[in-house]
A and B are shown apart, each in its own frame.
Chain A
């Protein structure tokens, strides 16, 4: 490809900026790309790309899915260019491409493919130059209202941006994301009914309760969470198509049996939470479509783990200490985590540090999302105590009260790191649920709890 002088200048400046940032031990995952795109608006079109591009998008699970897909691909000998450590917006993708480029702007020969996590709202900009051969959309849910408004808005954003030759990997149990790019080729994945399914939606919000074709009320035969499940329109007959990858999850033996056209294969189940089962299934479907064999995927999954900042589990003196990401501003992600905690066996104490510090000190957080979050899932007799830390503790307490949780079992403290001192450590588990901004606090609190348990035992 003939590249313009302007491109070369922008590329050189961006490469230099990346070197300087790395020398200064800064995270060079955004700025070089931003600079290049500023200096050369069609930089993305001109920079070299690997022959194959895979993109992963969706409201929840895209980072987990990307990390899992990346580990499997690398384990199978592929050299993958990714934005794993960086930003998933336009400048982040451009930065990843810069990092994988030679001095002339071509892609380094070692890269077999690119795997990009793509922010839903950046779809138009990114897919205009990084046209994915395969696009996995994990799901579409209500997310940060300030940025993402509602699912219809985000659906339209992605739908209008997907290139026509992209093969879609879609969740057949999600009536929203499952209808993306209706004219594109596609493969669907789905999970067979599970014991934990409901007959009707138990969540506060269901963003697909009316038929997308005729607007009559949809009838769900099973609901997994929110609008995820199997539904049919009684008026016009609308239903999602049969899936190509149909899974059965055995959370007892930690197995995922996936039926596809040429038979059934059993994989190790990496994590037993329903949203991570979907993430894993989506990755299996994606990599099967990409061309990996079932054995290749299976072998790699034996070594795979969900990244530690999102979920950790330790045990000290018989007490389980779990940290789990609960993304603030995202009611569905938090609801899924609350559901998971509520269903876990044994008695629990729960620490909540949900509110992102960013914005709350300078401004005041729009907290409408907490009223769309299923705090009622924490209202079980097993959840003995909830300790809420942070600037919005009183709002979350109020939300718990509306959800029916007993006031005497709620403790509020403004300091996030003060939360462990209110634990009584008289339960089977301690769950530390933290926002992404508080991953560091989550780890710190976990260490405090571990030390408290060790000291308790020593006494």
Chain B
């Protein structure tokens, strides 16, 4: 199995490196390929089973768009074929139509018909609790932008507490086939043992062992209890 990590040198702002380290510990047989800005993506020339990309700075989003633009068709094909993508934090915006920053509109890859609106004067911080195919998802958001567009037919998970892709939205992220994009930050896999198992099943490794499962579940249950407590603030 091949798992490609896109731009790990910089797309790692919020715990993504430890998340990848955790994946390597759970999937010791898998080959992990690190693709930097100066490299040709592995997915362009060989079969990869999963592509992971994490949060980055806003100027790095533009570098990332420029780098991936020549591979837009290939990425669309891979999504259609069912390749697993996990895009966390603001990397999700790279795959959308554009990013608006004041008067400036930055064209993105245009694979999904959504527009991100950025406001450097407003840092949005939130906890999020969601539901996805019977799993409860817990996570964190910390971002300058929100995504606008109708995702009620292609969301990653339904929001129970917090906001989805934009304030007031009850649907978080984008899900198309096995493309999963979400503003939920980097350590999503470490925080959500059931979601991680679900990813493993998409990769055809249903029996892969969750490393430190007892500990990870204990931490998850404590967090879930906090997030479900109506007296706890979500910001």
Query: Chain A residues with Cβ under 8 A from B113's Cβ?
Result: none
Closest to A404 in B: B25
Interface readout for A151-193 with B: 1 if CB under 8 Å, 0 if not? 1110000000000000000000000000000000000000000
7 nearest A-B pairs in the assembled complex, by CB-CB distance:
A371-B15, A371-B18, A152-B57, A368-B15, A394-B219, A364-B226, A209-B9
The answer to whether B58 touches A210, judged by C-beta atoms less than 8 angstroms apart, is: no
Complex interface: chain A residues within 8 A of B25 (CB): 402
* Chain B interface size range: 35 or more
28 contacts between A and B (CB under 8 A): A142-B13, A146-B125, A147-B123, A149-B142, A150-B13, A153-B57, A153-B120, A210-B10, A210-B37, A215-B63, A217-B9, A364-B223, A364-B226, A366-B140, A371-B17, A371-B186, A372-B14, A372-B18, A394-B215, A394-B218, A394-B219, A395-B219, A397-B215, A398-B190, A401-B211, A402-B18, A402-B22, A407-B212
- Rounded to whole angstroms, the CA-CA distance of A153 and B56 in the bound complex is 11
Residues of A contacting B52 with CB < 8 Å?
Answer: none
B127 in contact (CB, < 8 A): yes
Known: A210-B37, A215-B37. A364 touches B15 (CB 8 A): no
Among the interface residues A153, A216, A402, which one has the most CB atoms of the partner chain B within 10 A? A402
**Of all chain A residues, which has the CB nearest B227?**
A364
A142, B15: Cα distance in complex, Å: 12
- Mask: chain B, 184-208; 1 = CB below 8 Å from A; 0 = not: 0111001000000000000000000
B186 touches A368 (CB 8 A): yes
Contact check, A371 vs B232: say whether CB atoms are below 8 A apart.
no
Q: In the bound complex, what is the Cα–Cα distance between A142 and B234 (angstroms)?
A: 23
Q: How far is the CA of A364 from the CA of B228 in the complex (A)?
A: 11
Find A402's partner among B9, B21, B222, B227 (CB 8 Å cutoff).
B21
Q: Is the CB of B38 within 8 A of A205?
A: no
Report if B45 contacts A (CB, 8 A). Answer: no
Q: What is the CB-to-nearest-CB distance from A401 to chain B, in angstroms, rounded to a whole number?
A: 5
Cα A366 to Cα B36 in complex, Å, equals 28
Q: Within 8 Å of chain A (Cβ to Cβ): is B235?
A: yes
- Number of A-B residue pairs having CB atoms within 8 Å of each other in the complex: 105
Shortest CB-to-CB span from A161 to chain B, Å, is: 14
Across-interface contacts of A239 in B (CB, < 8 A) = none
Q: In the complex, A321→B201 CA distance in Å?
A: 49
Which A residue's beta carbon lies closest to that of B14? Answer: A368
Contacts A150-B57, A217-B38, A372-B14 given: A363-B234 contact, CB under 8 Å? yes
A145: Cβ under 8 A from any B Cβ: yes
Interface residues of A in 351-385 (CB under 8 A from B): 362-364, 366-372
Interface range for A:
35 or more
The verdict on A149 contacting B15 (CB below 8 Å), with A394-B215, A394-B218 known, is no
Query: Interface on B for A, CB 8 Å cutoff?
Result: 9-10, 12-15, 17-19, 21-22, 25, 36-38, 57-60, 63, 120, 123, 125, 127, 140, 142, 144, 185-187, 190, 211-212, 215-216, 218-219, 222-223, 226-227, 232-235
A292 on the B face (CB < 8 A): no
Instruction: Give every chain A residue within 8 A of B36 (Cβ-Cβ).
Output: 217
CB distance from A361 to the nearest CB of B (A): 9
Supposing A149-B123, A394-B218 touch, asked if A363 and B235 sit within 8 A by C-beta, the answer is yes
Neighbouring A residues of B186 by C-beta, 8 Å: 368, 371
Instruction: State in angstroms the CA–CA spacing of A193 and B5 once bound together.
Output: 33
Q: Cβ of B10: which chain A residues have Cβ within 8 Å of it?
A: 209-210
Specify which chain B residues have a CB less than 8 angstroms from the CB of A204 in the assembled complex: 17-18
Kindly list chain A residues whose C-beta atoms are within 8 Å of the C-beta of B125. 146, 366
Q: Give every chain A residue within 8 A of B38 (Cβ-Cβ).
A: 216-217
A84 interface residue, CB < 8 Å from B? no
Q: Bound state CA distance, A306 and B218, in angstroms?
A: 39
Contact A152 B59 (CB under 8 A): yes
Shortest Cβ gap from B64 to chain A (Å): 11
Q: Which residues does chain A contribute within 8 Å of B63, judged by CB atoms? A: 215
Given the complex, which residues of B lie within 8 Å of A401, measured CB to CB?
211-212, 215
- Using A153-B120, A217-B9, A364-B127 as known contacts, say yes or no to A398 and B14 having CB atoms under 8 A apart: no
Chain B residues lying within 8 Å of A397, measured Cβ to Cβ, are 215, 219
Contacts of A152 in B (CB 8 A): 57-60
Contact call A145/B215, Cβ cutoff below 8 A: no
CA distance A216 to B9 in the complex (A): 11
A399 at the interface (CB under 8 A from B): yes
B40 CB, nearest partner CB in chain A, Å: 15
Closest to B10 in A: A210
**B212 CB contacts on chain A under 8 angstroms:** 398, 401-402, 407
A151 CA to B59 CA in the complex, in Å? 12
The CA-CA distance from A216 to B233 in the complex, in Å, is 43
Kindly provide the distance from the CB of A414 to the nearest chain B CB, expressed in whole angstroms. 10
